[in-house]
Amino acid sequence: MQITIVGAGNMARGIATRALLGGHTVTITAKDAGKAVGLVDELRTRDHRSGLIGAADDSAVDTADLVVLAVPFDAARELAASYGARLSGKVLVDISNPVDASLDGLVVTPGTSAAERIAEAAAPDVRVVKAFNTTFATTLVAGQVDGTPLDVFIAGDDETARKQVADLVTSGGLNPVDVGALRHARQLEGFQLLHMALQIGEGGHGWASTIKIVTP
């Protein structure tokens, strides 16, 4: 797939790493063009990076099959609205966690989620999928915690779109967990709030833990 990642922070680095290892073509764009260039240069120094196109302006959104908004919730919602029909028919991946600064609660009202708010802001035929919000950036780069591949929980109303994101996850060496409709992003964002809060408490996990479903 042609994947455009909007953002050049730590989560963009992690998702780009997985996508490139999966053989996808990745373009990175960001409000700060210098950060996008810097991330591309960093990724090019590693192995298996033949699929990296480079840093570009936001015209990269137009040619993508799948667009990842690797930015905070408010910025993601604004971008979804501003891109408008440019995202028509595309898969738009929201990775955000709408948490307050103290990690004590969510900033979205009960009965909704960041992903649903982003879908409301986007053009009607944009296929919004929630994914990667329960994985921390450093664990994405590694692809595993304690030798176990990460689970990536996926929610979206379009089954084909969920499968496309699952293909990205699988090809990058991770385990997709399809949880169904986009409304289940509410639960994904809720338990990631707790997961994030555990990182900063006494005996915290240092942003190195993951949420995993283990079966017999």
Tens digit of pLDDT for each residue in 15-45?
Answer: 999 999 999 999 999 999 999 999 999 998 8
Question: Tokens 């408490």 map to which residue?
Answer: 201
Taking only the tens place, the pLDDT of each residue in 50-69 is 688 888 889 999 999 999 99
- The three-state secondary structure class of 9 is coil
How high is the mean pLDDT of the chain? 95
pLDDT of 48 strictly over 80: no
Per-residue CA distances from 92 to 102, 112, 126, 214, 215 (Å): 28, 18, 7, 28, 30
* Average pLDDT of span 106-132: 97
> CA nearest 155: which of 92, 107, 209?
92
pLDDT score of 119 more than 60: yes
Contact assessment for residue 131 and residue 202, using Cβ atoms and an 8 Å cutoff: no
Instruction: Supply the pLDDT for residue 56.
Output: 80
What's the average model confidence in pLDDT over 117-125? Answer: 98
3-state secondary structure of 103: coil
- 17 alpha carbon, distance to own chain's centre: 12
